[in-house]
Amino acid sequence: MIWKEILIRYGELSTKGRNKKDFINRLRANIRHSFNNIAPLEIATERDRMHIKIESEEQFEVLMKKLPTVFGIQSFSPVAVCDKELDEMKKLSLIIMEQFKGQELTFKVEVRRSDKSFPLESHEIQREVGAHVLRNNPNVSVQVKKPDVELRIEVRQDAIYMMAQIIQGAGGMPVGSNGKSLLMLSGGIDSPVAGYLLMKRGVRLEAIHFFSPPYTSDNSLEKVKALANELTKFGANIRLHVIPFTEIQVLIKDRVPSNTIMTTTRRMMMRIADLVREEIGALGIVTGESLGQVASQTLESLTAINDVSNTPILRPLIAFDKLEIIDIAEQIGTYETSIQPFEDCCTIFTPANPKTKPKVDKVNYYESFTEFDELIERAVRNREVYKFPETQKAKDKFEGLL
Amino acid sequence: MIYLDNSATTKPHKEVLNTFVQVNESFYANPSSIHEAGVESNALLDRARGQIAEILHTEEQFVLFTAGGTESNNFAIFGVPKANTHKGKHIITTEIEHPSIIEAVKSLQSEGYDIDYLKVDENGVISLQELEEKLRKETVLVSIMHVNNEMGAIQPIEEAAKLIHANSRAAFHVDAVQSFGKLPISFNGEAGPDIISISGHKIHGLKGSGIIAFRKKMNIIPLLLGGGQEKGLRSGTVAVPQAVALAKAARMATENMEQTTAKYRKWHNDLLEFLAGFGETIHLLSTKTGAAHIVSFSVKDLKGEILINALQKRGIIVSTSSACSSKQKKTSHVVEALELHSNYKKGVIRLSFGALNTDEDIIEFKKAFTEVMKELKGDKNQ
């Protein structure tokens, strides 16, 4: 295999002044973590790029497949290496250009000569290698401004490094570089997308889910676990807190007018989430709410829900259309899981006409007749916590069948 | 019994049967049910689908389970043209297709569709030039079998695919029932088919199970309507045990493909040489360039049936040109297409190898065949 290295460009990180070092270290740690199945990786960092050394074909394949999902990477390139001889460089240039074989395209050679003692000047290398590529690839022509392909040659101390392909990364910032928040994960289409968007901005997530057996089935919990697990592919561990919610939900149904059930349920969820948030040291709460999508997501409803907490509530989807959200869900691979038809706790006990414009003081008044605090504390205490990605794969019950 | 009729059907592998029984015992719930047992069946079904998708180089969502090769072929032939009438009503196929293609296009012909049948040369191979000439703006479907079931001719699928995709808007269907597991066949962008049919029981899987797979999202009308299973394209409770058994058979067939094909090729060459030794008493329909697992030939002035009976007495099972046509009295359309001399038309015999055959089987066949020929044709031909 000719590939000896993958070169990673940071993108947005490059502009971040003093915190840059932290960001780079964070990115390196995230990459190490995401690829611990092919560990150990040798990663060297520079001001504006990072080099991962490739030692086997397997490492290369896994990296090429998964690097596009790691946040904080603007782009990356597989890099080939050869001896510091002109003939070797020419040979390698053809092998690298092989992947564009048959395509009509423009190209140029770009040389970075960090070993100043190398006998050939940059423009000499450019001319020699460029001419060699042109002679052997009739479909290729030279264009200096905005070529389709830039064959990049770096003359370093130890060897010549060469690359041509630039693969788009996921952009954003390394997960964990912007603190931690708690994601309210319902199992629907929106909440995983909200989580994804915050992760993209460098936020580390834990997730919380409200479980109301027997009104919601084990399947719906499995679905939420699957979603949490899917989010981990963007480069971080996620802990999922599952709150036993049946008792509270049934009590709410008994104690408040039916058109207020939904608002009160949301407020209780928020209170529980806030307690969990405090315990795990997260700074914000993330939800998948989108303005006006359902009765609980009008500005009035959001106001009534916010009333129970002073914590910043991050709603990245607030101005998104449903179709835009679905698009992202499909891209990140959570859509198919989200649309599995299991009841979640938001769809049970929903009255025919929930209030779309609840008044905070009225809701407070209705709730004032019931002692919820103790139930809430108990629910938080009795929560179950799952860790993703699952370190030990559950035994494959289909083993041997396929 | 020495079984040399594997193109008619194969004996299921033990492993495949075990899978079938185990899935029936443990995962019998309807995969469309939302209860736990159904969810589990569905997860298993997804795994089987994923395994096939990987082998065929397509996405999981483009693999559908059917009741066999005939259904898959019928689905392609009826489904694509009927969904694309706005583009035209022209279909191209070959004159040596399996009856599940020929009869289906004939039915469309009676409804007013325009059908072109590509001719084949003496080796049973189509002409790419003729294909290019026949392609029109109104062509909606081209269906070409990969390996012919009666004599093993291999069609140039890759070249045909490139021609079709470059010169028309037609979908390209490949009946890979005889080739899957013996020759590489998968989706390959513009250099491959759009639709592939596969049958389980030709690859040591079970009868009554097959696959139709697509390269991408297709405009196609379902053959079976009902509960909307298989994304609405193939209603009917999905037979999970059959699907999983088929995925297993497909894996076993493709994993060991190189070895088994090398074995078949050795026997194929050996038998072609052996049969050539009979001079003009025997006319070879199979060629060195044909599929390795099929050896087809004709004995001059002799009915195939007589040969089959004589060999059977010696414990050797072979077939006339195909199992489908062997019970009908008339000469098969493939034999007609090859324009055999009338002396050879009635005596076509097909040997077809499977994974369970051994070198000894071939030696035994040669011995028995020599005896039979002596008995039926006398010494004068030796």
Q: Which residue of B has its CA nearest to A398?
A: B44
Q: Is residue A328 part of a domain?
A: yes
Task: Give yes or no: residues A247 and A359 share one domain.
Answer: yes
Of A140, A171, A202, which residue constitutes the final position of a domain? Answer: A171
Ordered by where they begin, the domains of chain B are: 2-9+256-377 (3.90.1150.10), 14-255 (3.40.640.10)
Residue A242: closest CA among A382, A374, A394: A382
Residue B198: closest CA among B253, B122, B131, B117: B253
Measured between alpha carbons, how far is residue B135 from residues A288, B78, B88, B191, B192 in Å? 52, 19, 12, 17, 17
Residue A336: closest CA among B60, B228, B235: B60
Domain range for A374 is 180-388
DSSP, collapsed to helix, strand or coil, labels residue B218 as coil
Task: Give yes or no: residues A69 and A218 share one domain.
Answer: no
Task: Give yes or no: residues A206 and A350 share one domain.
Answer: yes
Chain A: which residues have CB within 8 Å of chain B? 217-219, 222, 341-342, 397-398, 400-402
Task: Give yes or no: residues A77 and A108 share one domain.
Answer: yes
Which residues, 6 or more positions from A364, have their beta carbon under 8 angstroms from its beta carbon? A307
pLDDT greater than 90 at residue A17:
no
DSSP state of A291: T
Q: Is residue A356 part of a domain?
A: yes
pLDDT in tens, B142-170: 999 999 999 999 999 999 999 999 999 99
DSSP state of B126: B
pLDDT greater than 50 at residue A148:
yes
Task: Give yes or no: residues A187 and A121 share one domain.
Answer: no
CB A212, CB A179: distance < 8 Å: no
Considering only the beta carbons, identify the residue of A218, A219, A401 that sits closest to B23.
A401
Q: Which residues of A touch B23 (CB under 8 A)?
A: 401
Residue length of chain A: 402
CB A372, CB A268: distance < 8 Å: yes
Q: Is residue A50 part of a domain?
A: yes
CB A236, CB A72: distance < 8 Å: no
**pLDDT score, position B382:** 45
Q: What angle in degrees, to the nearest 10, is found between the helix axes of A86-97 and A122-136? A: 50
**pLDDT score, position A13:** 55
Burial string for A350-367 (b: 16+ CB within 10 Å, else e) reads eeeebbbebebeebeebb
Domain with residue A61: its CATH number is 3.30.2130.30
pLDDT in tens, B188-204: 999 999 999 999 999 99
Residue with tokens 């697992």: B293
pLDDT greater than 80 at residue A15:
no
DSSP string covering A111-131: EEE--TT-SS-HHHHHHHHHH
CB A9, CB A48: distance < 8 Å: yes
Task: Give yes or no: residues A49 and A119 share one domain.
Answer: yes
DSSP state of A355: -
Cα(A355)–Cα(A351) distance, integer angstroms: 9
Q: Is residue A398 part of a domain?
A: no
Task: Give yes or no: residues A219 and A337 share one domain.
Answer: yes
Which residues, 6 or more positions from B210, have their beta carbon under 8 angstroms from its beta carbon? B65, B66, B67, B68, B69, B70, B71, B72, B177, B197, B198, B199, B200, B246
Q: Which residue of A has its CA nearest to B247?
A: A402
**pLDDT score, position A354:** 81
**Does the CB of B22 have a partner CB in chain A at under 8 Å?**
yes
In the structure, what pLDDT confidence band is assigned to residue B323 with cuts at 50, 70 and 90? low
pLDDT in tens, A191-214: 999 999 999 999 999 999 999 988
pLDDT greater than 50 at residue B345:
yes
Q: Is residue A340 part of a domain?
A: yes
Q: Name the domain count of chain A.
A: 2
Task: Give yes or no: residues A207 and A249 share one domain.
Answer: yes
The verdict on whether B324 is a catalytic residue reads yes
* Rounded average pLDDT over B99-119: 97
- Pairing type for strands A204-211 and A180-184 reads parallel
Task: Give yes or no: residues A66 and A86 share one domain.
Answer: yes
Task: Give yes or no: residues A160 and A304 share one domain.
Answer: no
Among the listed residues B40, B103, B324, B370, the single catalytic one is: B324
% of chain A exceeding 90 in pLDDT: 61
Q: Is residue A94 part of a domain?
A: yes
Strand ranges, E, within A212-287: 238-244, 284-286
DSSP, collapsed to helix, strand or coil, labels residue A154 as strand
pLDDT greater than 70 at residue A392:
no
**pLDDT score, position A100:** 85
Q: B69 CA to chain A: closest CA distance, Å?
A: 21
In the structure, what pLDDT confidence band is assigned to residue A344 with cuts at 50, 70 and 90? low
Measured between alpha carbons, how far is residue B167 from residues B126, B131, B140, B143, B299 in Å? 17, 10, 12, 15, 42
Cα(A352)–Cα(B102) distance, integer angstroms: 58
Least confident of A374-388, B242-256, B338-352: B338-352
Q: Which two tokens stand for residue A345?
A: 């706790």
**φ, ψ dihedrals at A87, nearest 5°:** -60, -40
Q: Which two tokens stand for residue B273?
A: 């040489």
Of A139, A154, A171, which residue constitutes the final position of a domain? Answer: A171
Which residues, 6 or more positions from A171, have their beta carbon under 8 angstroms from its beta carbon? A11, A12, A71, A73, A74, A200
Residue B83: closest CA among B244, B195, B162: B195
Task: Give yes or no: residues A213 and A129 share one domain.
Answer: no
pLDDT greater than 60 at residue B224:
yes
Q: Which residues of A touch B36 (CB under 8 A)?
A: 217-219
* Rounded average pLDDT over A59-70: 90
Please state, rounded to an integer, the average pLDDT across all residues of chain B. Answer: 94
**pLDDT score, position A217:** 82
Domain with residue A199: its CATH number is 3.40.50.620
Of A121, A142, A171, which residue constitutes the final position of a domain? Answer: A171
Q: B116 CA to chain A: closest CA distance, Å?
A: 34
pLDDT in tens, A66-86: 899 889 999 999 999 999 999
Q: Which residue of B has its CA nearest to A343?
A: B34
Q: B324 CA to chain A: closest CA distance, Å?
A: 31
Q: Which residue of B has its CA nearest to A342?
A: B34
pLDDT greater than 80 at residue A343:
no
Task: Give yes or no: residues A131 and A193 share one domain.
Answer: no
User: Which of the two residues, B34 and A111, has the higher pLDDT score?
Assistant: A111
Cα(A315)–Cα(A297) distance, integer angstroms: 11
In the structure, what pLDDT confidence band is assigned to residue B19 with cuts at 50, 70 and 90? very high
Q: Is residue A264 part of a domain?
A: yes
pLDDT greater than 60 at residue B59:
yes
Q: Is residue A373 part of a domain?
A: yes
Least confident of A96-100, A273-277, B285-289: A96-100
A402/B34 touch (CB, cutoff 8 Å), yes or no: no
DSSP, collapsed to helix, strand or coil, labels residue B66 as strand
Considering only the beta carbons, identify the residue of B36, B39, B247 that sits closest to A402.
B247
What's the helix, strand, coil split of chain B in %, to 5?
Answer: 45, 15, 40
